[in-house]
Amino acid sequence: MKTANHSNRGMGLENDINLTNSYYLEKDIAVIYKKPTPIKVTKVSYDCIGNKRVKDAFYEKPSTTDYNGLYKGKYIDFEAKEIKNSNIFPIINIHKHQIEHLSRINKHGGIAFIIVRFCNNNTTYLLEINKLISFIDNNKRKSIPIEYFEDCGYIIKESYIPRLNYIKIIDNIISKENLWKNLKGNSKSL
Amino acid sequence: MKTANHSNRGMGLENDINLTNSYYLEKDIAVIYKKPTPIKVTKVSYDCIGNKRVKDAFYEKPSTTDYNGLYKGKYIDFEAKEIKNSNIFPIINIHKHQIEHLSRINKHGGIAFIIVRFCNNNTTYLLEINKLISFIDNNKRKSIPIEYFEDCGYIIKESYIPRLNYIKIIDNIISKENLWKNLKGNSKSL
């Protein structure tokens, strides 16, 4: 069984997340999908049995993120990025409008974050959007060192099945949120 | 002002929903997007400045629905369909896996529904997924008459801005859900 795990290691973060999401769906744990890549079609043709086929198109800039879905009644939204040969995450990797989108999701009560894998270290982190924005607001640097992910993010452990069990981290985030709500509620009632 | 409204009338349900979603985004009311159409790319080429362009591709069957997003902390998911010349809605218009998806969303605490416009009557309805499934389970008919939408759904009134204010209906649904939760809570504490 372990051989299969290792032999698939090179298949990348996107593949790991897709396999994990399929597992969540199959086990009825969460409903999270990768959105299709936005493509602007400019020319189509029809084959002999009338099926439409795209003959010219271009890739559009994504206006939102790659993944969204639902877990325990919570709206989940995230973008995933892989860093090949370095221990820093260039902020330019996430478009400005994607950061704005994630920030909006956070404001409206969803759970918004990025998942970043540093391939050099073979380590994958989940960083909440408020932590990403806090770094951008308080630093002049154009890239985030891995140490910031270590200090302010969560490590997502790799395993065989599910490949990248990020729902565990979301459970943590939900518990923290509930704790805060209760504390706020109690301080109001004092 | 009214002229603009009427002159745009023929532009279709999808356009109305997109305009409404843009309005919700702009006014910071909700974050709801149309997902890109899933396209499987089989051939690409690069132009002289290195931009990738799609040269052959085909449309894939959507595995989920057209729209999803977030409103007041709630996950929203729906499919929209237009019926041109009839007062019945053929169930085949919604794929089986889309019904399963909406049902899953409902089970995991999201708000799932279909929006159907009957162009003959110029009336647009929102029908919750449990009402759609209930019809399918209790009827041998392969299509749903407009009267069922009238009795079990909600009319979404058209206006100038926003074009199709379906969030009002979602407010109703959330209120009903909260009422149920409270009733259940009270009956437990008795």
Q: What is the pLDDT of residues B134-145, one digit of tens each?
A: 999 999 999 999
Distances (CA, A) of B163 to A38, B30, B33, B68, B173: 25, 15, 15, 18, 20
Q: Report d(CA B22, CA B33) in Å as an integer.
A: 8
Q: How many residues does chain A have?
A: 190
Q: What is the mean pLDDT of residues B71-85?
A: 96
CB B115 within 8 A of CB B17: yes
pLDDT digits (tens, 9 = 90+) for A36-94: 889 999 999 998 888 899 999 999 888 899 999 999 999 999 999 999 999 999 999 99
Tally of CB atoms within 10 A around A81:
16
SS3 A77: strand
Token readout for A78 is 């995230």
pLDDT digits (tens, 9 = 90+) for B32-77: 999 988 899 999 999 888 889 999 999 988 889 999 999 999 999 9
A110/B70 CB distance under 8 A: yes
Q: Report d(CA B79, CA B98) in Å as an integer.
A: 8
- pLDDT tier for residue B11 given thresholds of 50, 70 and 90: low
Percent of chain B with pLDDT over 90: 79
Q: What is the DSSP letter of A90?
A: E
Domain ranges, residue A87 = 2-189
Compare CB distances from A57 to B57, B63, B72 and report the shortest one's residue: B57
Instruction: Using only the alpha carbons of chain B, give its radius of gyration.
Output: 19
Tally of domains in chain B: 1
Closest approach of chain A CAs to the CA of B76, in angstroms?
A: 9
- All residues of chain A having their beta carbon less than 8 Å from the beta carbon of residue B54 are 39, 54, 56-59
pTM score: 0.89
Q: Report d(CA B38, CA B42) in Å as an integer.
A: 13
A108/B37 CB distance under 8 A: no
Q: Which range, of A104-113, B44-53, B65-74, B96-105, averages the lowest pLDDT?
A: B44-53
Q: Report d(CA B98, CA B104) in Å as an integer.
A: 10
A70/B77 CB distance under 8 A: yes
Closest approach of chain A CAs to the CA of B98, in angstroms?
A: 13
Cβ-based neighbours of B94, under 8 Å, separated by 6 or more: B79, B81, B114, B132
Complex ipTM value: 0.88
Q: What is the DSSP letter of B35?
A: P
Token readout for B139 is 């009827």
Compare CB distances from A54 to B28, B39, B105 and report the shortest one's residue: B39
Closest chain A residue to B29, measured at CA: A108
Bridge partners (DSSP) of residue B46 are B52
Closest approach of chain B CAs to the CA of A13, in angstroms?
A: 20
Token readout for A73 is 């009644």
CB B79 within 8 A of CB B13: no
Token readout for B98 is 């889309």
Cβ-based neighbours of A79, under 8 Å, separated by 6 or more: A65, A66, A67, A94, A98, A102, A114, A115
What residue type is B96 in one-letter code? K
B75/A72 CB distance under 8 A: no
Q: What is the mean pLDDT of residues B144-148?
A: 97
CATH number at residue A35: 3.40.1350.10
- All residues of chain B having their beta carbon less than 8 Å from the beta carbon of residue A104 are 25, 28, 31
